[in-house]
């Protein structure tokens, strides 16, 4: 098989692969969703009689691995007392977060990211990750302490007291503490404190138990994300819809995404684990529970109708009579900023999910981040990093380019052989191989850079798609968001023209049909790439432009060498 044919099949294979993925997203048979009256729980879980997932409490004893704790009959049964009065809310503002916290259990009912508009052209409409109201509700964070679900206890249904209705991070201050207090009136008191830091999306959750009673108190801390889940309508015309949305866990060794439609208990830890975390993912943003890394914790997932509850429950601890006990967890609610995620918990930056090419995408993102610190523009960063990648592949591209140039110079002789032996394919192949051997030309060498660049191209695609750092990042003029398509399709048109120029620079296929297909390929790629992120198209334009420059230079050198040989 000659160089042109292999190049053709490689390009067509890439196009078919990408279109197959898009077809699977758009037209694959839907998975049956649970009915309105049913609950989908991990194997061995108990549905309980709770009116909703929000009413469920962890049992005091450690539940079997992967089993959702039984629910109680309702909020009254959960706290063992008359229905509490309506809870007030506390407004908490930092330089990056705007929270609404209910005094009922310290539930975070709303979390707004003040530096992240929902749409670039609507800067006043901010991203809201958690919300108790609206089409995406419920979407809340709950936490508390349980002593088994009997009697008054400081769980997420108990009403706390707040010293003031709002808290704001003061100018010049680096930390803000928001305390909430509760007492059962019989000697047990709890101070629940949320600690927020300037510029950080991590919230430290402290619970201090003081037992002034005459008997020891036993309880365990838990934290849970209650989220409404809607199946994403995926489309090849909107690459962002291919990003995973739903729950995920890290068990200390492996990162695992969980299927809400078909929960698999085997994916949950079989026993309490240490050093893990649980998260609710969406495109560019995440809410994650990071339990105390010094103690083992149970992880459970319960699904009811279109809601799921992802819970982490720590070990049982004791506050002796006259003694105290402390519980610590962390909540991360914000964009998938990889430096902050990595600082919050080990492997939490995996929530910026680059898929199967993470091994390539991570160093690629690191390189982009380092260059961006210098140039300050993600568009120019992509251009510079593309140049650096091209430099790394320079020796391979140089060898390939010389082979392509030699093939170009041999084109007339190859055409003559094909005309002479057009009716004898065996002799045709033999004569062609002798020509390659005599002229020291490798017909496959020209495809090596293409084969090598395909994984880099796909890794670049996922970095641009998943890295929130590039969300709504402007380049120049009309390109104001590199993570979405070019609104005027100018970059795809430039890319198509560059690919056609590269085709004209390379040796023309002897077969007229192959030549027509090759001429058509730039148009196919232009249409396919028109809806891809503008940053990815910019990468391909830069890469193609550098390839053209290198190949043009090699062609001139080879032509000069041929003239010198003939003379």
Q: Where in the chain is the domain with CATH 2.70.98.90?
A: 33-231+238-352
Eight-state DSSP code of residue 532: S
Spatial separation of the C-alpha atoms in residues 328 and 531, rounded to whole Å: 45
Spatial separation of the C-alpha atoms in residues 17 and 9, rounded to whole Å: 12
What's the token pair of residue 83? 């229905």
pLDDT digits (tens, 9 = 90+) for 265-290: 878 888 899 999 999 999 899 999 99
Contact 441, 410 (CB under 8 A): yes
Helix (H/G/I), strand (E/B), else coil: 552: helix
pLDDT digits (tens, 9 = 90+) for 172-190: 999 999 999 999 888 999 9
Spatial separation of the C-alpha atoms in residues 257 and 259, rounded to whole Å: 7
Q: What is the pLDDT of residue 128?
A: 93
Q: Cα-flanking dihedrals φ and ψ of residue 221, to 5°?
A: -85, 150
pTM above 0.85, yes or no: no
Helix (H/G/I), strand (E/B), else coil: 426: helix
Residues in the chain: 567
Share of the chain above pLDDT 70, in %: 75
Contact 320, 211 (CB under 8 A): yes
Q: What is the pLDDT of residue 149?
A: 66
Spatial separation of the C-alpha atoms in residues 286 and 247, rounded to whole Å: 10
Contact 62, 272 (CB under 8 A): yes
Contact 558, 409 (CB under 8 A): yes
What's the token pair of residue 91? 């407004």
Spatial separation of the C-alpha atoms in residues 371 and 493, rounded to whole Å: 27
CB atoms within 10 A of CB 271: 11
What b/e string do you get for 234-266 counting C-beta neighbours within 10 Å, with b at 16 or more?
bebeebbebbebbbbbbbeeebebbebeebebe
Spatial separation of the C-alpha atoms in residues 235 and 24, rounded to whole Å: 10
Q: What is the pLDDT of residue 510?
A: 55
Spatial separation of the C-alpha atoms in residues 154 and 219, rounded to whole Å: 10
Q: Are strands 277-282 and 285-291 parallel, antiparallel or unpaired?
A: antiparallel
Residues 6+ away with beta carbon under 8 Å from 428: 417, 418, 421, 422
Q: What is the pLDDT of residue 35?
A: 35
What's the token pair of residue 515? 């030549």
Contact 297, 291 (CB under 8 A): yes
Closest CA to 407 of 435, 448, 449: 435
Spatial separation of the C-alpha atoms in residues 6 and 224, rounded to whole Å: 53
Q: Are strands 255-257 and 166-168 parallel, antiparallel or unpaired?
A: unpaired
Q: Which residues of the chain have pLDDT under 50?
A: 1-9, 20, 22-51, 62-83
Q: Cα-flanking dihedrals φ and ψ of residue 441, to 5°?
A: -115, 135
| Residue written as token pair 């089409």 | 135
Helix (H/G/I), strand (E/B), else coil: 475: coil
Q: What is the pLDDT of residue 466?
A: 87
Q: In what order do the strands lie in the sheet with 277-282?
A: 161-162, 175-183, 188-197, 202-211, 324-335, 285-291, 277-282, 246-250, 255-257
Cα 541 to Cα 93, 489, 526, 537, distances in angstroms? 43, 13, 11, 6
CB atoms within 10 A of CB 204: 17
- Tell me, letter by letter, the H, E, C secondary structure of 90-143: EEEECCCEEEEEECECCCEEEEEEEEEEEECCEEEEEEEEEECCCCCCCEEEEE
Contact 1, 442 (CB under 8 A): no
Spatial separation of the C-alpha atoms in residues 411 and 348, rounded to whole Å: 55
pLDDT digits (tens, 9 = 90+) for 300-316: 999 888 889 999 999 99
Closest CA to 422 of 432, 435, 433, 412: 432
Q: What is the dihedral of CA 414, 420, 424, 430, to 10 degrees?
A: -40
Q: What is the pLDDT of residue 549?
A: 84
Calculate the average pLDDT of the chain.
80
Spatial separation of the C-alpha atoms in residues 522 and 125, rounded to whole Å: 39
pLDDT digits (tens, 9 = 90+) for 223-264: 999 998 877 676 666 666 778 889 999 998 899 999 888 877
- Helix or strand holding residue 319 (H, E): strand 307-319
Q: What is the pLDDT of residue 117?
A: 92
Q: What is the pLDDT of residue 41?
A: 40
What's the token pair of residue 23? 């077809």
Architecture of domain 33-231+238-352: Distorted Sandwich (2.70)
Q: Cα-flanking dihedrals φ and ψ of residue 53, to 5°?
A: -60, -30
């Amino acid at each position: 098989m000659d160089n042109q044919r292999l190049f053709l099949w490689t390009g067509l294979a890439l196009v078919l692969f990408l279109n197959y993925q898009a077809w699977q997203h758009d037209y694959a048979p839907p998975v049956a969703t649970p009915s309105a009256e049913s609950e989908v729980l991990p194997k061995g879980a108990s549905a309980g009689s709770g009116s909703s997932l929000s009413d469920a409490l962890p049992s005091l004893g450690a539940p079997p691995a992967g089993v959702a704790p039984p629910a109680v009959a309702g909020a009254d049964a959960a706290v063992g007392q008359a229905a509490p009065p309506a809870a007030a809310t506390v407004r908490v503002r930092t330089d990056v977060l705007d929270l609404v916290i209910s005094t009922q259990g310290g539930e975070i009912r709303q979390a707004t990211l003040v530096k992240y508009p929902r749409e670039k052209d609507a800067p006043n409409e901010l991203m809201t990750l958690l919300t108790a109201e609206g089409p995406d509700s419920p979407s809340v964070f709950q936490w508390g302490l349980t002593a088994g679900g009997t009697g008054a206890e400081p769980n997420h249904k108990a009403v706390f007291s707040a010293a003031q209705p709002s808290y704001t991070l003061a100018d010049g201050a680096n930390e803000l503490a928001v305390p909430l207090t509760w007492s059962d009136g019989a000697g047990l008191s709890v101070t629940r404190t949320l600690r927020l830091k300037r510029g950080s999306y991590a919230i430290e959750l402290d619970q201090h138990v003081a037992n002034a009673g005459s008997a020891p108190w036993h309880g365990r801390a838990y934290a849970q994300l209650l989220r409404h889940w809607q199946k994403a309508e995926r489309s090849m015309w909107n690459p962002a819809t291919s990003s995973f949305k739903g729950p995920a866990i890290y068990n200390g060794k492996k990162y695992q995404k969980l299927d809400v439609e078909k929960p698999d208990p085997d994916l949950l830890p079989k026993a309490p684990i240490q050093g893990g975390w649980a998260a609710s993912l969406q495109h560019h943003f995440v809410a994650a529970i990071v339990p105390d890394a010094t103690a083992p914790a149970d992880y459970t997932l319960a699904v009811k109708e279109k809601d799921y509850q992802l819970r982490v429950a720590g070990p049982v601890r004791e506050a002796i009579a006259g003694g105290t006990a402390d519980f610590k967890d962390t909540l991360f609610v914000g964009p998938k900023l990889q430096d902050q995620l990595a600082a919050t918990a080990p492997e939490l930056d995996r929530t910026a999910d680059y898929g199967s090419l993470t091994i390539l995408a991570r160093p690629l993102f690191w390189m982009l981040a380092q260059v961006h610190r210098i140039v300050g523009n993600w568009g120019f960063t992509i251009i510079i990093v593309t140049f650096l990648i091209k430099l790394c592949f320079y020796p391979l591209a140089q060898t390939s380019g010389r082979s392509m140039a030699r093939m170009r110079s041999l084109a007339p002789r190859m055409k003559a052989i094909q005309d002479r032996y057009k009716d004898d394919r065996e002799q045709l192949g033999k004569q062609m191989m002798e020509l390659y051997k005599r002229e020291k030309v490798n017909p496959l060498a020209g495809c090596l850079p293409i084969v090598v660049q395909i994984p880099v191209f796909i890794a670049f695609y996922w970095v641009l798609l998943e890295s929130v750092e590039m969300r709504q990042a402007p380049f120049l003029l009309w390109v104001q968001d590199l993570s979405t398509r070019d609104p005027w399709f100018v970059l795809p048109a430039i890319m198509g023209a560059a690919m056609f120029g590269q085709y004209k620079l390379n040796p023309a296929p002897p077969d007229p049909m192959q030549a027509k297909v090759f001429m058509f390929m730039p148009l196919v790629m232009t249409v396919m790439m028109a809806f891809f992120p503008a940053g990815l198209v910019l990468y391909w334009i830069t890469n193609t432009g550098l390839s053209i420059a290198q190949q043009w230079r090699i062609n001139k050198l080879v032509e000069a060498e041929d003239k010198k040989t003939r003379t």
